[in-house]
């Protein structure tokens, strides 16, 4: 910390070292504004993504897939965790130095809480600071939700995703409560490392927001790799034993149980707003604790903004980055950027191969009254995609939902090698009104995954009317 003063003043105070907040802090600091950034943990410089989110988990995807059958699962896992921790330490240090190294920016490690709308107290562990600021950004992110299942919170075997990727001991039997993006990613990772993995999903099926045909292929891939997915499961109790825990659940009216060495609570994340003293600032929150914001990300106090997961929006690093653009437009721009400007935002669940989506599904398109045509193929049948054969992974499917009247791409689901990259091309096309025929007939580099569009979009498998009563 660059100062020992008990009372500080800043042009901009950022609470939380996430993607959006640090981006605004760096830009405002480069313009000569006095910026203070408060982060409560010295292990979270840079935010969730480089420390316990995107970077370490996707690195583990990579390391898990490199393990050979003859490699000891425990030794390979321990070595992988060590390499990933070295990577996150590198990123953490770079984030800290990138901001604190600026003459106009100071990073303070401590717990912040509002005293009044313009004043924040910070407990640094060595003392207390009082900070006043003209503009304040809330960028504290989110934290794992542990469901109120009897015995789950008390179990010594319950872990969050952040806990799990810090341990160097590979669980032989991993139970995952929640079959959403987080649960499925960890299921794929730990199954490849050698764990026996059981996923409990309360809904009748996993990936229920997708079309059934795409979700079925994804489930088949996970099941073929040995992941046990139990959908329609209601977990009723967790009981600790001497060497593990028992997960008790009900399915189809019958009671069952599974033994586990670790239980991952993957039931979602909630905005991290506890102990911030938002009442003292007059900042309103929603029922789930999210900071309420308008389309410009202003809170109920116009000088206070909320960026990233804490505002209850989509929980993705790239959304937090775009939040920073909206806030910077308010602070130094024309003030016209809003959250409504976001169109065709892609999402990826990093199972292997990745599952990436953008836009709406076939069932959503029909419900909205569109006449649709569907273009889709299994990856193994896409002649124009030798990339999949080159890297020896032809699993998956590509599916496009297209407006039959306008040839507009309404949505896509890509479950294939390189899907996380390919989907960006589709999203860009959707944002700029590029029609399906144009995407089909474009010239792509070879051999790549993107050139699959040449084949897939030439295959219209059906054209139907909207659902009755939806016209």
pLDDT at 7 exceeding the cut of 90: yes
Average pLDDT score over the chain: 94
Q: 464 pLDDT band (50/70/90 cuts)?
A: low
Pick from 351, 349, 321: nearest CA to 337? 321
Q: How far apart are CA 432 and CA 407, in angstroms?
A: 13
Average pLDDT for 377-389:
95
CATH 3.50.50.60 is right for the domain spanning 158-267: yes
Q: How far apart are CA 139 and CA 61, in angstroms?
A: 27
The pTM score is 0.93
Ramachandran quadrant class, 285 (left: phi over 0; alpha: psi -120 to 50; beta: rest): beta
Phi then psi for residue 269, to 5 deg, are: -130, 145
pLDDT at 2 exceeding the cut of 80: no
Our CA angle for 428, 434, 439, nearest 5°, is 90
| pLDDT score, position 1 | 39
pLDDT at 196 exceeding the cut of 80: yes
Average pLDDT for 277-293:
96
pLDDT at 3 exceeding the cut of 80: no
Please count the residues of the chain: 471
Q: How far apart are CA 56 and CA 85, in angstroms?
A: 8
Terminal CA-CA length for the chain: 63
Q: 460 pLDDT band (50/70/90 cuts)?
A: confident
pLDDT at 5 exceeding the cut of 60: no
Over pLDDT 70: what percentage of the chain? 97
* Fold match, 158-267 / 347-464: no
pLDDT at 300 exceeding the cut of 60: yes
| pLDDT score, position 463 | 61
Hey, what CATH class is 7-142+270-341 in? alpha beta
Structure confidence by residue, pLDDT tens digits, 19-53: 999 999 999 999 999 999 999 999 899 999 989 88
Structure confidence by residue, pLDDT tens digits, 327-373: 999 999 999 999 999 999 999 999 999 999 999 999 999 999 999 99
Over pLDDT 90: what percentage of the chain? 94
pLDDT at 461 exceeding the cut of 90: no
Contact status, residue 196 vs residue 174, Cβ threshold 8 Å: yes
pLDDT at 465 exceeding the cut of 70: no
Structure confidence by residue, pLDDT tens digits, 58-81: 999 999 999 999 999 999 999 999
Structure confidence by residue, pLDDT tens digits, 226-240: 999 999 999 999 999
pLDDT at 470 exceeding the cut of 50: no
Structure confidence by residue, pLDDT tens digits, 142-190: 999 999 999 999 999 999 999 999 999 999 999 999 999 999 999 999 9
Structural domain boundaries in the chain: 7-142+270-341, 158-267, 347-464
| pLDDT score, position 359 | 98
- For the beta carbon of residue 268, count every other beta carbon within 10 angstroms: 16
Average pLDDT for 433-446:
96
Both tokens assigned to 124? 């640094």
**Which H or E run includes 56?**
helix 54-66
| pLDDT score, position 193 | 97
CATH of domain 347-464: 3.30.390.30
Q: 223 pLDDT band (50/70/90 cuts)?
A: very high
Provide CB contacts within 8 A for 204, sequence distance 6+.
Answer: 231, 232
446 given a catalytic annotation: yes
Structure confidence by residue, pLDDT tens digits, 407-434: 999 999 999 999 999 999 999 999 999 9
Q: 469 pLDDT band (50/70/90 cuts)?
A: very low
């Amino acid at each position: 910390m660059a100062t020992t003063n008990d009372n500080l003043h800043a042009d901009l105070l950022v609470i939380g070292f996430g993607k959006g907040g640090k981006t605004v802090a760096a830009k405002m600091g480069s313009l000569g504004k006095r910026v203070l950034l408060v982060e409560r943990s010295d292990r979270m410089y840079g935010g969730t993504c480089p420390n316990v989110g995107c970077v370490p988990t996707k690195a583990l995807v990579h390391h898990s897939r490199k393990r050979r059958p003859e490699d000891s699962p425990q030794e390979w896992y321990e070595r992988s965790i060590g390499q990933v921790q070295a990577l996150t330490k590198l990123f953490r240090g770079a984030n800290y130095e990138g901001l604190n190294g600026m003459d106009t920016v100071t990073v303070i490690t401590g717990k912040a809480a509002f005293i009044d709308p313009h004043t924040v107290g910070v407990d640094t562990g060595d003392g207390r600071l009082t900070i006043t600021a003209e503009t304040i950004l809330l960028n504290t992110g989110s934290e794992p939700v542990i469901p109120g299942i009897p015995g789950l919170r008390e179990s010594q075997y319950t872990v969050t995703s952040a806990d799990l990727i810090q341990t160097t001991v590979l669980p032989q039997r991993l139970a995952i409560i929640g079959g959403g993006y987080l649960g499925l990613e960890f299921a794929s990772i730990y199954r490849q490392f050698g764990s026996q993995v059981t996923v409990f999903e309360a809904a009748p099926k996993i990936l229920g927001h997708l079309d059934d045909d795409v979700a079925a292929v994804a489930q088949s891939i996970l099941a073929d790799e040995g992941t046990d997915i139990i959908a329609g499961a209601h977990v009723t109790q967790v009981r600790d034993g001497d060497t593990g825990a028992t997960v008790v659940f009900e399915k189809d009216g019958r009671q069952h149980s599974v033994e586990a060495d670790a239980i991952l609570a993957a039931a979602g994340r909630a905005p991290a707003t506890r102990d911030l003293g938002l009442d003292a600032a007059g900042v309103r929150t929603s029922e789930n604790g999210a900071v309420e914001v308008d389309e410009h990300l202003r809170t109920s106090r116009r000088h206070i903004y909320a960026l990233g997961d804490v505002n209850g929006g989509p929980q993705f690093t790239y959304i937090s980055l775009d939040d920073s653009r909206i806030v910077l437009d308010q602070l130094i721009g024309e003030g016209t950027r809003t959250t409504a400007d976001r169109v065709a935002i892609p999402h990826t669940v990093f199972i292997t191969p990745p599952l990436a989506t953008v836009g709406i599904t076939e069932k959503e398109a029909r419900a909205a009254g569109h006449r649709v045509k569907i273009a889709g193929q299994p990856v193994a049948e896409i002649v124009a995609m030798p990339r999949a054969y080159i890297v020896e992974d032809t699993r998956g499917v590509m599916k496009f939902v297209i407006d039959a009247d306008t040839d507009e791409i309404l949505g896509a689901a890509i479950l294939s090698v390189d899907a996380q990259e390919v989907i960006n091309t589709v999203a860009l096309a959707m944002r700029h009104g590029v029609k399906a025929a144009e995407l089909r007939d474009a010239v792509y580099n070879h051999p790549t995954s993107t050139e699959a569009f040449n084949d897939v979009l030439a295959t219209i498998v059906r054209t139907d009317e909207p659902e009755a009563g939806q016209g």
